[in-house]
Structure formats: C-alpha cells, structure tokens
Homo-oligomer: A and B are copies of this chain.
Amino acid sequence: MPKQKVSIDFILRQSLRLFREKSYHNTSIADIAEACGLLKGSLYHYFPSKEALMNEVVKYAHAYFKKNVFSIAHNQELTAQEKMEQIFKKSEKSLLSHGDLMANVGVETANKNKEFTENIQTFFEEWIETVKIVFSEIANEEDAQQLAEQTVLEFEGAVMMTRIFKDPKFVHNAYERLINRFAAFSLNPNK
C-alpha cells in the first residue's frame, strides 16, 4: 500500500504525545508506528533512528514554544502582566495534558546523548530568558534574572508534581502564585 498514510508532522505529534505520556524508554518504535497506523519498519523512512526521531521531537516542541509561548514576550500590544498571564496560560495548557517532554527526556538522557541535552538546555535557557524579558519591565537586570529563574523552576516543579500526583492543582496553584507575585511586584517594583 503506497499512498502516503502519514505526514512527518503527524509522526512528530504522535511521538511527542507518547514520549510525554510514557517517557522515552517506555515508548518503543513499534508503539509510535502503531499510533501512526504504520508498522515499525516504516518509521525508518522518516527517521534514521529512534534517537534522531527524539531529537526532531525535541526540536518540534521547542519550535512550538518559540512560536506560541516565547514570542509573547515581544508582543508590544500587551502589558507586562498580560504577557506573564499568557505565557504561563499557554504553557500550562501545553504541558498539562501529557507532562513536560523536555524535563522527562532531559532527565532520562542527561548522561547519554549530548545533542538531546544541548537542545534541551537551549530550550530552558530561552524560556528563562523569555520570562526575564518580562520581568525586566518592572525590575532591574539582576532581580529580573533571579525572578525569572525562580518562576520557571517553580513552574517546572509544578508540572512534575502534577505528573506524579496526576493532579493539575500543582500547576494551577503555581500559576496563581506567580501571577499574583508579579502583580504585587508591579505595584511595588524596585526598578
């Protein structure tokens, strides 16, 4: 049966979902193929190895965040508060469903695959940088850095906890806290 059954985009989305849900090692090529309606051998038309596929998935997720989340920091039409709200609302929506690919894979492959690690590091650097840009509107350089780091780490911790407890309250609570803190800080900035 020739006729294209799937697109690369579709494979990446299915892979992303499975890697998030089950982690890298618990997801087999056969699992992904099945989710795509293919046999495992067929996946190798699109990706030369499981690692290469994973790498593309990481890039895909990164690109998604770049376009849909990180870009918000540069939206001139929004107030700083609105930026924060949208950034983490989007993140929450994206991460809540299946967990955070970057964190999972980052931890699972930290000592294994250099390219994974570098891509994931870049992702988090950009995320912190994004939040720092918004904080810079209400805080000085140094404070903005620490506040951004704090905010992203807390949010990441919350995503992890939501995963472990299968309870979205951790991310919800974290969202409320960080938005309130931002509002409070805005009223009494140290800029």
Tell which of A155, A156, A160 has the most Cβ of chain B within 10 Å. A160
Residues of A at the B interface (CB closer than 8 Å) are 21-23, 25-26, 99, 103-104, 106-112, 117, 120-121, 124, 146, 149-150, 152-158, 160-161, 163-166, 170, 173-174, 177
Complex contacts, A170 vs chain B, CB 8 Å: 149, 153
Q: In angstroms, how far is the closest chain B Cβ from the Cβ of A151?
A: 9
Q: In angstroms, how far is the closest chain B Cβ from the Cβ of A37?
A: 20
A110 contact from B112, B154, B164, Cβ within 8 A = B164
A174 with B160: in contact, given A23-B107, A25-B108, A26-B112 (CB under 8 Å)? no
**B154 A173 Cβ-Cβ under 8 A:** no
SS class, residues of chain A in contact with chain B: helix
Docked complex Cα distance between A103 and B110 (Å): 13
A108 contact from B26, B146, B154, B165, Cβ within 8 A = B26
Complex contacts, A22 vs chain B, CB 8 Å: 111-112
A121 with B157: in contact, given A99-B107, A107-B107, A149-B170 (CB under 8 Å)? no
Q: In angstroms, how far is the closest chain B Cβ from the Cβ of A32?
A: 16
Complex contacts, A157 vs chain B, CB 8 Å: 152-158, 160
